[in-house]
Amino acid sequence: MKIAATVEEIRSAVKAWKKEGLSVGFVPTMGYLHEGHQSLMQKAVSENDRVVVSIFVNPMQFGPSEDLESYPRDLEKDAALCEASGVELIFHPEPKEMYHPDFSTFVDMHGLTESLCGKSRPSHFRGVCTVVTKLFNIVQPDRAYFGQKDAQQLAVIQQMVRDLNMDVTVIGCPIIREADGLAKSSRNSYLSADERKAALVLSRALAVARQQLADGERDAAKIRSAIAETIQAELMAKIDYVELVDARTLQQVDSVERPVLVALAVYIGKTRLIDNFITE
């Protein structure tokens, strides 16, 4: 396995593979990889001849008061996990390799980016769309793999690919959880022991929503209220949002009559965590 730091190295390797008629899978990440990322890599390896993983903490998708500088990084550990998963190539550029000093071209979107995480992080998806477009242009993958935990991001990327006629298949993969139900996240490393216990309120609140739906409740406001009450019972938790939205448009729904994304974002101490599920 090789670690490349430049666009030229990636393009050269991928061109050589494609000359041989090999398919290319791609897993874009910000590093500090865990079992959730590993599941994406393993699926990519199973479906493609060669796999590229990008490890790039993208400054453009962080707001001014967010955790860009403190975001966890461990390239050595990441590389070992990539190699064990069967990845051929890691793209690990410096910000200056991705963004020239006079960089001034952006990819933006309306609609899907205005609710959920986009409401509290207004510049976030502009940064996501721009960097993913750049990465797709650099890697030229046949397939790209994203986790369902970032459900809004997955929907945004799928829409962007359709809108801009990008020649890549975007594949969503299931949320990977700890044994106690907490969704795997690089930001879980921020949590103290007490905060880690408190963070279980996210999966607990979603379980309440699932039970209400199983019992026949279809009023979205009542389900949102039950989720919020569960979270508010945890003193270390602060709600950013609790939403039930159409799984395709991400617009708020009044009643659960079609596939709906049940999504929440919660601060545990200073750490913002997200989780979700989609109804049948």
Domain with CATH 3.40.50.620 in the chain: 2-173
The backbone torsions φ and ψ at residue 174, rounded to the nearest 5 degrees and listed phi first, read: -65, 155
CB 277 within 8 A of CB 262: yes
Residue 280 has pLDDT above 90, yes or no: no
The answer, yes or no, to whether residue 211 has pLDDT greater than 90, is yes
61-75: pLDDT as tens digits: 999 889 999 999 999
* CA neighbor of 210 nearest in space, from 116, 117, 276: 276
Whole-angstrom distance, CA of residue 164 vs CA of residue 20: 28
Q: What is the pLDDT of residue 270?
A: 96
How confident is the model over 9-20, as a mean pLDDT?
98
Q: In 121-144, which positions are buried (b, 16+ CB within 10 angstroms) versus exposed (e)? A: bebbbbbbbbbbbbbbebbbbbbb
Given 34, 37, 110, 124, the catalytic residue = 37
Instruction: Find the Cα–Cα–Cα–Cα dihedral 273, 134, 136, 172, rounded to 10°.
Output: 20
Q: At what angle do helices 7-19 and 124-139 cross, to 10 degrees?
A: 50
- Distance CA(211)–CA(243), nearest Å, equals 16
3-state secondary structure 137-160: HHHCCCEEEEEHHHHHHHHHHHHH
pLDDT bucket at 236, cuts 50 / 70 / 90: very high
Question: Which residues of the chain are in CATH 3.30.1300.10 domains?
Answer: 186-278
Q: What integer is the mean pLDDT of 147-156?
A: 97
**Third-level CATH fold of 186-278:** Pantoate--beta-alanine Ligase; Chain: A,domain 2 (3.30.1300)
Contact 223, 213 (CB under 8 A): yes
16-46 pLDDT, tens digit per residue, is 999 999 999 999 999 999 999 999 999 999 9
Give the span between the Cα atoms of 103 and 111, in whole angstroms: 25
**Strand pairing class (271-278; 260-268):** antiparallel
Q: Is 92 known to be catalytic?
A: no
Q: Does the pLDDT of residue 249 top 90, yes or no?
A: yes
pLDDT tens track for 67-121: 999 999 999 999 999 999 999 999 999 999 999 999 999 999 999 999 999 998 9
Percent of the chain with pLDDT over 70: 100
What token pair was written down for 141?
């993958």
What six digits make up the tokens of 116?
A: 């959920």
Q: Cα–Cα distances in Å, from 215 out to 48, 208, 257?
A: 42, 11, 14
> Cα separation of 65 and 44, whole Å?
34
Indicate the Cα dihedral angle 248, 250, 273, 235, nearest 10°. -130
What is the pTM assigned to this prediction?
0.96
Burial of 179 (0-12, 13-18, 19+ CB in 10 A): exposed
pLDDT band, very low/low/confident/very high, at 228 (cuts 50, 70, 90): very high
Return the pLDDT at 198: 98
Q: What average pLDDT does the segment 152-180 reach?
A: 98
Instruction: Provide the 3-class DSSP secondary structure of residue 207.
Output: helix
CATH architecture of 2-173: 3-Layer(aba) Sandwich (3.40)
